[in-house]
């Protein structure tokens, strides 16, 4: 059963459709991510769900109840912003308790609920501190506690880790994931950070120009994207134009120009292909070997990144270098690129 449901939701600003007929189903208890570049419509979509914006067309339902026209403070949602939006004049306890004070709780019940939430986000004993006395990670936990203490059905996260440095951001990704699992609340994350979405979400919707291009698990998005836009946005990838030479049986044979004749399992194609069709073949950098193949090239640039090195390999007649990620020392002299046919990603060709 869908817990959050969007049916052809559209939001226009003048002549621009920031959100364009979006269809979305999110199950209860999921950690779901809206992923895309700046301006793709993901934050507008989040604000529509929160009630800060109203759709021009379509319907939004949460737990079976239509939310169109329902103001933000009456929706079973709460939001954590990138800026945290903490009250500087209130201490940690006061910030977390702020939303509860109009709920008619007794002093004892309010205190117990706030202290329990502070323990949940590992802020025990810090209730008397002011926001400017906290680290970035602690301020982020206060914002989480303030949103969660109201017990929303859906927690909306708008780029919540964008203000943190890389190491702290990675730590908070793990904490957020663990917190969501322990609470069982539906989390809806908006981010432009591919690694953040891949490491945290159960399912991801990739957006562009106000539309959803693909909804899938992190692994499926990475290994089987459905179009060039998704493939290029999720991690590094190499694209090669090809034409179909033979499409009978379980293998599709393609002429990939400088790569030569490439045989691709038919299972890699999520769309029908016939003789003479133009297609796009793609390979992730870590799926390409520098030795043992048949495509000759020269290493133009290399960067050492600990357990793995990144190489830009020049192939005669190709303008863009081939990006390869490999472990071990770089071979001396020319390289012979190779790959497993099962690792080739086949995509529709749209010139």
Entry pTM: 0.90
Kindly report the backbone phi and psi dihedral angles of residue 346, in degrees, each rounded to the nearest multiple of 5, phi listed first.
-105, 130
Strands (E), 198-294: 203-208, 211-216, 238-246, 251-255, 261-265, 278-283, 288-289
H runs (alpha helix) in 99-153? 107-120, 136-148
Give the gyration radius of the chain's Cα atoms: 24
Digitized pLDDT (tens) for each residue of the chain, 351 residues in all? 689 999 999 999 999 999 999 999 999 999 999 999 999 999 999 999 999 999 999 999 999 999 999 999 999 999 998 777 889 999 999 999 988 887 878 889 999 999 999 998 889 989 999 999 998 888 888 998 999 998 999 999 998 887 677 888 888 888 889 989 999 999 999 999 999 999 999 999 999 999 999 999 999 999 999 999 999 999 899 999 999 999 988 999 999 998 889 999 999 998 999 999 999 999 999 999 999 899 999 999 988 877 788 999 999 989 999 999 988 777 778 999 999 999 999 999 987
Task: Report whether 43 contacts 90 (CB < 8 A).
Answer: no
All residues at 6 or more sequence positions from 5 whose CB lies less than 8 Å from its CB, including other chains: 24, 25, 26, 59, 60, 61, 62
All residues at 6 or more sequence positions from 72 whose CB lies less than 8 Å from its CB, including other chains: 50, 51, 52
**How is the chain split into domains, by residue range?**
2-232, 236-348
Q: Identify the CATH assignment for 2-232 out of 3.90.1150.10, 3.40.50.620, 3.40.50.300, 3.30.365.10.
A: 3.40.50.300
Chain CA centroid to CA 74, Å: 28
Q: Which pLDDT value is given to residue 288?
A: 95
In which residue are the tokens 């979509």 written?
45
Q: Which pLDDT value is given to residue 1?
A: 60
Question: Cα(63)–Cα(65) distance, rounded to whole angstroms?
Answer: 6
Cα–Cα nearest to 169, from 144, 142, 136: 136
Chain CA centroid to CA 167, Å: 19
């Amino acid at each position: 059963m869908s817990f959050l449901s969007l049916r052809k939701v559209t939001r226009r600003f003048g002549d621009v459709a920031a959100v364009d007929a979006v269809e979305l189903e999110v199950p209860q208890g999921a950690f779901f991510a809206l992923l895309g570049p700046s301006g793709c419509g993901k934050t507008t979509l989040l604000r529509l769900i929160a009630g800060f914006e109203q759709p021009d067309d379509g319907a939004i339902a949460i737990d079976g109840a239509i939310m169109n026209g329902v103001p933000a403070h009456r929706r079973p949602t709460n939001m954590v912003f990138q800026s945290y939006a903490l009250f500087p004049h209130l201490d940690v306890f006061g910030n977390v308790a702020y939303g509860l004070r109009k709920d008619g709780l007794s002093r004892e019940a309010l205190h117990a609920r706030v202290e329990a939430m502070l323990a949940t986000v590992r802020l025990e004993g810090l209730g008397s501190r002011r926001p400017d006395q906290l680290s970035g990670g602690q301020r982020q936990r206060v914002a989480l506690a303030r949103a969660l203490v109201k017990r929303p059905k859906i927690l909306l996260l708008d780029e919540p880790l964008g203000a943190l440095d890389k190491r702290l951001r990675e730590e908070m990704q793990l904490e957020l994931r663990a917190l969501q699992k322990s609470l069982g609340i539906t989390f809806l994350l908006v981010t432009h950070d591919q690694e953040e979405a891949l490491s945290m979400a159960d399912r991801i919707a990739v957006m562009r120009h106000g539309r959803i291009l693909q909804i899938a698990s992190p692994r499926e998005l990475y290994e089987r994207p459905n179009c060039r836009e998704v493939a290029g946005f999720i991690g590094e990838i190499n694209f090669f134009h090809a034409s179909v030479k033979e499409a009978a049986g379980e293998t599709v044979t393609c002429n990939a120009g400088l790569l030569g004749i490439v045989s691709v399992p038919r299972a890699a194609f999520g769309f029908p292909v016939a003789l003479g069709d133009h297609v796009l073949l793609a390979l992730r950098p870590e799926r390409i070997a520098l030795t043992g193949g048949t495509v000759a090239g020269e290493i133009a640039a290399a960067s050492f990144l600990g357990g793995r090195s990144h190489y830009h390999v020049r192939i005669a007649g190709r303008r863009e270098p081939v990006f390869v990620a490999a472990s071990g020392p770089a071979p001396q002299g020319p390289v012979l690129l190779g790959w497993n046919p099962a690792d080739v990603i086949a995509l529709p060709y749209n010139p």
